[in-house]
Amino acid sequence: MWNEVEKKDRKSNSRYAKEFNVALPIELSVDEQKELLTEYVQKILSIKVW
C-alpha cells in the first residue's frame, strides 16, 4: 500500500506512514481480533483518497 502512495505523490517534502498501531479489545479472542483487524484494513484500503 505505501509503495502505491509513494508512486502517486512525488513532492520533496512529502511524508508517508510506514506502519500504524491498532489497539484491539482484550475481551476478544485472538481469532476475533484478527477478523476485526482484517475487516478494518480491507475497509480503509477500499477508500481511495489519492
Instruction: Count Cα atoms within 13 angstroms, Cβ side, for 45.
Output: 9
Does residue 1 contact residue 45 with C-beta atoms inside 8 Å? yes
What are the cell numbers at 40?
478494518
Query: What radius of gyration, in Å, describes the C-alpha atoms of the chain?
Result: 14
42 vs 26, residue with greater confidence: 26
DSSP 8-state symbol, 27: T
Regarding pTM above 0.85, the answer is no
Q: What are the pLDDT digits (tens) for 29-45?
A: 999 999 999 998 888 87
